[in-house]
Amino acid sequence: MMLHIPEVLTKAQVAELRAAIDAADWIDGNATSGTQSALAKRNEQLPEGSAAARFAGGKILDALSHSPLFVTAALPQTVFPPLFNRYGGGQTFATHIDNSIRQSRDGSVRIRSDLSATLFLTEPEDYDGGELLVEDTYGVHEVKLPAGDLILYPASSLHQVTPVTRGARTSSFFWIQSMIRDDARRALLFQMDIAIQQLSLKVGAGAPELVSLTGTYHNLLRMWAEV
């Protein structure tokens, strides 16, 4: 399941993050690449664990915890500390798949990557190219979102970033280990939770049928969750 989550960050929050990370020293993006990715990847990256990355990453993690749509869709158990990359001057990341296990450089965080996320930090009109292309059984999906918006998609997906031919594309990227490992089950729970929320507005949260449906949701979550 792919999901566009709008306004994870406000424009003011994006500006605050950009001021911090743009002033920092950036390095070759292959500092965190696996063998396959190193052959496909040409970009810059903010050093993992740098003061700027920790500051900006903390702001993003706080924003995610206050995003009901993100929590409902991802059912996160652990969110990997956000990383930051920048593409410009023809830089690109050819088709690849994310590593199944991600570990922070200091070894403090180790997760199974169930979901991948890209949080856009540059307005789309400020650069050409740089589209995120994600492949699934329905074809290739092109993503280029406003600054502050996030795209969430299965980490098992083949994906790429097309060459940036004008300006620069700055974004944050990270992975999530979900309480629900299986994407189909996670999508089912998401659809059910959204329906429950919509029904509660129409019939009231105390309606017996809605109480029963909510119970079914939690019993499925109890059955499938890995915590």
Using DSSP's 3-state secondary structure scheme, residue 224 falls into helix
The answer to whether residues 144 and 132 touch, using CB atoms and an 8 Å cutoff, is yes
Range of lowest pLDDT (10-19, 191-200, 204-213)? 204-213
Quick one: 39 exposed, middle or buried, by C-beta within 10 A (0-12, 13-18, 19+)?
exposed
Straight-line distance from the first to the last Cα atom of the chain, in angstroms, rounded to the nearest whole number:
21
The reply to whether 159 sits in an annotated binding site is yes
The reply to whether 18 sits in an annotated binding site is no
Closest by Cα among 47, 20, 17 to 32: 47
The reply to whether 169 sits in an annotated binding site is yes
User: For 185-192, what is the mean pLDDT?
Assistant: 98
The answer to whether residues 80 and 107 touch, using CB atoms and an 8 Å cutoff, is no
Is 3.40.47.10 the CATH number for 3-178?
Answer: no
The reply to whether 4 sits in an annotated binding site is no
Rounded CA-CA distance 98/153 in Å is 11
The model's pLDDT over 163-182, given as tens digits with 9 standing for 90+, comes to 999 999 999 999 999 999 99
Quickly name the fold that domain 183-224 has.
Answer: DNA Excision Repair, Uvrb; Chain A (4.10.860)
The answer to whether residues 59 and 5 touch, using CB atoms and an 8 Å cutoff, is no
Q: What is the DSSP code (8-state) at residue 11?
A: H
Considering the chain, tell me which residue range(s) the CATH 4.10.860 domain(s) occupy. 183-224
Q: What is the DSSP code (8-state) at residue 181?
A: -
Q: According to the model, what pLDDT value does residue 53 have? A: 97
Ramachandran angles phi, psi of 138, nearest 5° = -100, 5
pTM: 0.94
Only one residue has tokens 């009901």, namely 68
